[in-house]
Structure 1
Amino acid sequence: MNKLKVGLIVVMLAIIAIVGGYATYTYNPGSSNGTVKITDMADRTVYVPAEITKVLSTSPPSTNTIYMIAPDKLGGWNSNLTNEQKKYIPSKYQELPVIGGWYSTFQGNPENFISQNPSIILYDKANLGNSSVDIDNLQQMMGSIPVVEIENSLNATNYTGAIQFTGKLLGETEKANELVDFYENVLTQVNTTVSTIPEDQKVRVYYAEGAAGLQTDPSGSPHSQLIDICGGVNVAQVPLKGGNGMSEVNMEQVLQWNPDVIITNNPQFYSKVYTNSSWQDVKAVKDKKVYLAPTTPLGWFDRPPGANVIIGIPWTAKVLYPDKFKNLNMTQLTKEFYSAFYHVNLTDEDVKYIMGNQTLD
């Protein structure tokens, strides 16, 4: 074998070892179907079936990632789908069983998982919650079903590794690369423009949560991170709250912060903010710059965290700096995102409905 061939083999082995976060990927003929030795995203060695046919996850961010990459291998949802969500999820996936999970304040039931006989179970370390289960405890609960750790939900500037890891694990590398291409393209476009905005010209933003709009998350929170990523200044001067976030504030604080733009994901707050006398002196309200982030089938801006907020990156950039992002066509991007990530094809009317008839293009 000549040196060129040897060199090519070494390169290919190196690629196999690192793509998607795998340190090793070795066939093990110890069982009838064979297993694959992998290193998960917590550097744990795990033996998984060579052919993975059904996957469950302990929390919504990684469940949603499975659905995006390999919907036919998803074995269940963590909670019931709403009627709104079902509008933009193909019917064949709507009736998957609801298995619960370990996230937020929810404590799952291992029997719900075991009874579905999955090939593997994904555990999302960054589940933002108060659930106390760790991966070692979870593996004990699940017996012989391999539990694989993935880290994908907290950092919207770093989804590539988790998407590629999941794609490799599930035998869907090409699909994972398609999603990564979309993600990295919009993130690069936004970063390139945002990096040129002087600090004194950045838009000041308040993230209004809850029906009264008097809960929020400051800079540094995964719930409000798109403000930072898209070049805004988060005005909330409150302690960073872990878990589900949503720090309580009062109207006097909001008036003092006096944001240029308000983003909310609460329809009740949005429907009343322009007629609520308490908010009339806030600059964003006076300037008609309150925006309702789309939430169908999953949040664009927040909740749950995860790859679903990728489409929220160009949306938030466009909300904050419409003149600087005229090149971002939200109708076209939304159609591309929903086709690639949610497996549905949208009409222009669908896009208008999802965006609440808020015109950004």
Structure 2
Amino acid sequence: MLAMYVASKPQLARVPDVGNVQDQTFSVEKALATKPDVAILADWQYKALGADLARLESAGIPVVVIDYNAQTLERHLASTRVLGEVTGETARAQRIAADYRQVVDTITQRVAKAKRPQPRVYIELGDKGPAEYSYTYGKNMWGAMVQLAGGNNVAAPFVESWGAIHPEQLMASKPEVILIAGYENVSSPTAMQIGQAIPAGNVQQRLKGFTQRAGWAGLPAVKNGRVHAVYHGATRSIMDAALLQYLAKTLYPDLFKDLDPTATYLGFYQRYLPIRPQGTFMLGINGSDKP
């Protein structure tokens, strides 16, 4: 989506490239050369940079840490409010935080009131395609979202943060709902591809490929058609509200008939951002974005 943002706000093309913490190309020298007023880092970036942070701070650059990776209500709200303070947009940040709290409260309160057995859920990043099991999630990211939505994350006993689960462990867990996450840009022709400008038919075709894994035909989620594709690019941000709604709706369809997760996702862009995405961001194996 970067090209869309640049087309809308051409000044973004002039933002200097200082590297990436994840692939260890981040350059403190380049960052210092931009003479920033503040450095905003994700919690994992702050931890990864370690001693390099002292060079920023010694240059008089305050370091602000936010954390959307934990995917918890508390940290999402705190991070959003901090960004509001830093940017001078406190009222805007308060509105966004309040909207997010309402989404979470609606889900948690309905699930608590219903007192249903927790559906067993498995979520995998489908970047490697059906031939190889990729990351699933324990206590953070999708794992934390499953907990918020009232599900039983079958990977939690085997994965602390993220990592692959052994196929035999998954088979024994008998998930009732399966979600495969993906991005627009993938290297494998069978990887889960979903997001901006990706047609629903392509998403559905790739999703069906995962259900053909050895042994999956016997899983409750596959037998009952409760297999879904979700956009991984919306996680680790306040926009995961829409995916949280979708997750809740896949787990408890009758409790959340009134929710429209796709409308929530696109509505956020309409209210707060300069671009209008078009594509597929959540989809069931039946071809519908409404579980």
Instruction: Give TM class, smaller chain.
Output: 0.7 to 0.9
Q: Name the CA shift for 1:332/1:221 in 2 (closer, same or farther; >3 Å).
A: closer
Aligned pair partner of 2:91 in 155, 159, 174: 174
Question: In 2, are the aligned partners of 1:227 and 1:234 still within 8 Å (CA)?
Answer: yes
2:37 is aligned with 1:119: yes
Instruction: Give the corresponding residue for 1:330.
Output: 261
- Shift in Å at residue 251 of structure 1? 2.2
Q: Name the CA shift for 1:165/1:128 in 2 (closer, same or farther; >3 Å).
A: closer
Pairs within 5 Å for 1:195-210: 195-198=112-115, 201-210=117-126
Instruction: Give the corresponding residue for 2:62.
Output: 147
Amino acid at match of 2:64: E
Structure 2: gaps (5+ residues): 183-191, 194-205
Question: In 2, are the aligned partners of 1:262 and 1:290 still within 8 Å (CA)?
Answer: yes
Could you tell me the TM-score, scaled by structure 2's length?
0.77
Deviations 1:312-361 (A, max 9, x none): 22121112112110111224312322223543346xxx3x6333553217
- Shift in Å at residue 163 of structure 1? 1.1
Amino acid at match of 2:148: I
> Aligned partners of 1:168, 1:143: CA distance in 2, in Å?
22
Task: Give the share of equivalent positions with the same residue, in percent.
Answer: 19
Instruction: Give the corresponding residue for 1:340.
Output: 271
Instruction: Give the corresponding residue for 1:30.
Output: none
> Aligned partners of 1:344, 1:195: CA distance in 2, in Å?
37
Instruction: Give the corresponding residue for 2:8.
Output: 91
Question: In 2, are the aligned partners of 1:114 and 1:142 still within 8 Å (CA)?
Answer: no
> Aligned partners of 1:152, 1:353: CA distance in 2, in Å?
26
> Aligned partners of 2:146, 2:258: CA distance in 1, in Å?
19
Amino acid at match of 1:231: G
> Aligned partners of 2:121, 2:2: CA distance in 1, in Å?
28
Q: Name the CA shift for 1:280/1:106 in 2 (closer, same or farther; >3 Å).
A: same
Q: Which has the higher helix share?
A: 2
Could you tell me the TM-score, scaled by structure 1's length?
0.63
- Shift in Å at residue 278 of structure 1? 3.4
Instruction: Give the corresponding residue for 1:293.
Output: 230
User: Over the residues paired in the alignment, what is the CA RMSD in angstroms?
Assistant: 2.8
| SS of residue in 2 equivalent to 1:123 | strand
Question: In 1, are the aligned partners of 2:124 and 2:135 still within 8 Å (CA)?
Answer: yes
Deviations 1:217-239 (A, max 9, x none): 45423342111000010112544
Instruction: Give the corresponding residue for 1:360.
Output: 290
Amino acid at match of 2:35: N
Amino acid at match of 1:177: Q
Amino acid at match of 1:140: R
| SS of residue in 2 equivalent to 1:207 | strand
Structure 1: gaps (5+ residues): 1-83
Aligned pair partner of 1:235 in 154, 162, 166: 154
> Aligned partners of 1:109, 1:274: CA distance in 2, in Å?
43
| SS of residue in 2 equivalent to 1:272 | helix
> Aligned partners of 1:282, 1:91: CA distance in 2, in Å?
45
